[in-house]
Chains A and B, each alone.
Chain A
Amino acid sequence: MRSADSEPLLRLENVSKSYGTYRALQPTTLSVNEGEFFSLLGPSGCGKTTTLRIIAGFDIPTGGTVHLAGHDISRTPPNLRDTNTVFQSHALFPHMTAAENVAYPLKMKKVPAAEIRPRVTEAIGQVEMSKFAERLPHEMSSGQRQRVALARAIVGRPRVFLLDEPLGALDLRLREQMQHVLVHLQRRIGTTFVYVTHDQGEALSMSDRIAVMRAGRLQQLASLRDLYYQPANSIVAGFIRKSNVISGTVATYAGRTVLQSGPLAIPMADRAAKPKAALRYEAMAVGPEADRSDIAFDATIEDALFLGDKVEVTLDLGGARLAAMAPSQRDSQFRPGDRTWAGFHSRDLVPLDE
Chain B
Amino acid sequence: MNDLALGTGGIGATLRRLSPLTNYLWLAALVILPNALLFGTSFLKSDGGVLVYGGTGANYSRTLGSDTVQLLILRTIGSAFVAALFACPLAFYVSRYMKRWKVLAVMLVVVPLWISLLMRVFAWQIILGENGGLNSFFVPGWLLAEPSTAFLYSRYEVIVALAYRAISYVFVSSYTALERVPQSLIEASQDSGARRWHTFCNVVWPRSKQGLAIGFALAFLLAVGDYITPSMVGGLDGTMLGMVIASQLGMAGNWPLGAAQAVVLIIAVGLVLGAIFWMARSRGILQFVDAGPGAELRAPETLRDHLVQWAVRIAVLLPYLFLYLPLIIIMVFSFNASQIQTLPLQGFTLKWDASLWGDQNLIDALQRTLIVALTTVALSVVVGIAFAMVFAYGDLRFSRLLQSGLAISVAIPRIVLGISIVIAAQLVGIKPGIWRVIIGHMTFVMPVVMLIIVNRLQRLDPSYVQTSLDLGADYGRTFRYVLIPMIRTAVLGGTLLGFTLSVDEVTATLFLTGNEPTLPIHIWNRMRFGFTPSVNAIFTLIGGVSIALVMIATAIIGRDRSKVEI
Contact = CB atoms under 8 A, between A and B. Distances in A.
A74 B503 CA distance: 57
B192 interface: yes
B288 A89 contact: yes
Nearest to B288: A89
B206 A91 contact: no
A297 B203 CA distance: 65
Given A60-B296, A87-B188, A93-B203, A108 B286 contact: no
B347 interface: no
Contacts of A225: none
Interface stretch (B165-173, B194-202, B242-250, B506-514): B194-202
Nearest to A75: B298
B193 A93 contact: no
Interface in B287-315: 287-290, 296, 298
A157 to B, nearest CB: 12
Contact of A85 (B188, B198, B298): B188
Interface in B203-219: 203, 206-207
Nearest to B193: A108
Interface in A288-347: none
A50 interface: no
Contacts of A145: 287
Contact of B287 (A58, A79, A108, A137): A137
A156 B282 contact: no
Contact of A87 (B184, B282, B284, B287): B184
B285 interface: yes
A104 interface: yes
A108 B284 CA distance: 21
A153 B189 CA distance: 11
Given A60-B296, A85-B187, A108-B198, A156 B285 contact: no
Contacts of B185: 91, 93
Interface string A90-107: 111111100000001100
Name which of B194, B198, B202, B287 has the most chain A CB atoms within 10 A of its CB: B287
Nearest to A169: B288
B67 interface: no
Contacts of B147: none
A291 to B, nearest CB: 54
B206 A84 contact: no
Contacts of A91: 182, 184-185, 187-188, 288, 290
Main secondary structure of the interface of A (DSSP, over half): loop
A109 interface: yes
A59 B296 contact: yes
B191 A83 contact: yes
A112 to B, nearest CB: 15
Contacts of B207: 94-95
A138 B284 CA distance: 6
A77 interface: yes
B191 A84 contact: yes
Contacts of B193: 79-80, 105, 108-109, 156
Contacts of B192: 79, 84, 104-105, 108, 152, 156
A94 B184 contact: no
Interface in A152-170: 152-153, 156
Contacts of A87: 184, 187-188
B282 A85 contact: no
A93 B191 contact: no
Contacts of B206: 93, 95
B528 interface: no
Given A104-B202, A108-B198, A94 B190 contact: no
B459 interface: no
Nearest to B190: A78
A304 B202 CA distance: 57
Contacts of B397: none
A281 B190 CA distance: 45
A95 B184 contact: no
A350 B379 CA distance: 75
Given A90-B288, A93-B185, A94-B284, A79 B191 contact: yes
B284 A77 contact: no
A93 B282 CA distance: 12
B288 to A, nearest CB: 4
A58 B288 contact: no
B283 interface: yes
A136 B202 contact: no
B182 A89 contact: yes
Of the candidates A87, A96, A152, the one having the most CB atoms from chain B within 10 angstroms of its own CB is A87
A56 interface: yes
Contacts of A89: 182, 184, 288-290
A152 B193 CA distance: 12
Contacts of B284: 93-96, 136-138
A185 B188 CA distance: 20
Contacts of B298: 60, 75
Nearest to A77: B190
Contacts of B190: 57-58, 77-79
Given A84-B192, A93-B203, A105-B193, 15 more contacts: A58-B190, A59-B296, A79-B190, A79-B195, A85-B191, A87-B188, A91-B182, A91-B288, A93-B284, A94-B207, A94-B286, A95-B284, A96-B284, A105-B191, A138-B287
18 contacts: A56-B187, A56-B191, A57-B190, A60-B298, A78-B187, A78-B190, A80-B193, A85-B191, A89-B290, A92-B188, A95-B206, A104-B194, A105-B193, A108-B193, A136-B283, A137-B284, A137-B285, A156-B192
Interface of A: 56-60, 75, 77-80, 83-85, 87-96, 104-105, 108-109, 136-138, 145, 152-153, 156
Closest 10 CB pairs of A and B: A105-B192, A94-B284, A91-B184, A91-B188, A95-B284, A108-B193, A138-B285, A78-B190, A108-B194, A89-B288
